[in-house]
Amino acid sequence: MLQFLIRRLLLSVPVLLLVTVLVFMLIHVVPGDPGRAILGPEATPEAVAAFNRAHGLDRPLHVQYLSWLAGVLRGDLGRSLVDGTPVSTLIAQRLPATVELAVGAMLVAGLIALPAGILAAVRRGTAVDHASTVLALAGLSVPQFWLGILLILFFAVRLRWLPASGYVPLTVDPVQNLKTMLLPILVTGLRESAVLMRMMRSSLLEVLRLDYVRTARAKGLGGWGVIVRHAARTALVPVLTVSGLQLAGLLGGLVITEQIFVIPGFGRLIVDSILNRDLITLKGAVLVAATMVVAVNFLVDVLYAWLDPRIKVTGGARA
């Protein structure tokens, strides 16, 4: 296990390095020069040159990259071009709302997906199964911003049960926080449940074919007893993996939900930094989003190996 941990950790290093190169290239190897892109077309050439000099943007690219990387390794992501706040501080301020949203959404997704997936697998080929497949595809296809707007129209505008926006931190007022977060959590959770439900279904179907399930049945255990006590537990292993990956994707990618419900989270930080042409913040935030995915992937692989000792790391392991 220790050997696995070390090998797996070593595999993440080159990927993370490549991620930093990609993020850097994305921002710096754009057509035109970065000062112009940030200051906009109105700025004078002198202003652009001065800006580039002040931010070290006139140095050779590899020098810029290495100094940025050295900063990143120390936890220094630079300072926002808008107000000079350290980017790491901005990210730390924005993450709690996103974490709450992501965790809440995954709870909702699990609550819907696990029973629905089990039911679809057990009743394979019946109307229940087909209905759940179509519903899952529909859940994958519905644009979140539209679902969000419809829910706002219904619950906030028509019924006036819930506010349409107006985020309050959990630590300030838990009740009001829950009221504002309920719709965003639902919108995100419904979508993620579609993916998770299909995973649960296919995983359980695979397990139900295994010998030990047949043995348990032969020993006289009734239908649901076998499923709940034996099969569903084994089937949960890959489902856990997927939900871990979903969580990672959500932490970095809740842009849309946060935009609809005006939640000051990590995704909005990315959108705001784009709209403000704050490329330093954008660079830092995108790097953090990708690093979270790599980190959660690592944790999920470790958890997977721990839950299922048959898994051994092989050459082309995931990053």
CB 203 within 8 A of CB 308: no
Least separation in angstroms between CB 277 and another protein? 8
The answer to whether 81 touches 280, Cβ cutoff 8 Å, is yes
CB of 285 to another protein, least distance (A): 8
**For another protein, which is the closer residue by CB, 91 or 256?**
256
HEC per residue, the chain: CHHHHHHHHHHHHHHHHHHHHHHHHHHHCCCCCHHHHHHCCCCCHHHHHHHHHHCCCCCCHHHHHHHHHHHHHCCCCCECCCCCCEHHHHHHHHHHHHHHHHHHHHHHHHHHHHHHHHHHHHCCCCHHHHHHHHHHHHHHHCCHHHHHHHHHHHHHHHCCCCCCCCCCCCCCCHHHHHHHHHHHHHHHHHHHHHHHHHHHHHHHHHHHCCHHHHHHHHCCCCHHHHHHHHHHHHHHHHHHHHHHHHHHHHHHHCHHHHHHCCCCCHHHHHHHHHHCCCHHHHHHHHHHHHHHHHHHHHHHHHHHHHHCCCCCCCCCCCC
Q: How far is the CB of 56 from another protein (least distance, A)?
A: 19
Beta carbon nearer to another protein, 169 or 215: 215
Smallest gap, in angstroms, from Cβ of residue 136 to another protein?
Answer: 6
**Residue 101 backbone class (left: φ over 0; alpha: ψ -120 to 50; beta: rest):** alpha
Nearer CB in complex with another protein: 226/250: 250
Please, what is the minimum distance in Å from the beta carbon of residue 172 to another protein?
26
Tell me which residue has tokens 């399930």.
213
Q: Decide whether 24 or 230 has the Cβ nearer to another protein.
A: 24
Q: Which is nearer to another protein, 151 or 181 (CB)?
A: 151
- Which residue matches tokens 């239908």? 223
Cβ closest to another protein, residue 21 vs residue 47: 21
CB of residue 95 to another protein, shortest distance in Å? 14
Q: Which is nearer to another protein, 99 or 149 (CB)?
A: 149
| Shortest distance (Å) from residue 288 CB to another protein | 10
Choice between 198 and 230, CB closer to another protein = 198
We find the least distance from the C-beta atom of residue 156 to another protein, in angstroms, to be 9
User: What would the two tokens of residue 59 be?
Assistant: 């140095």
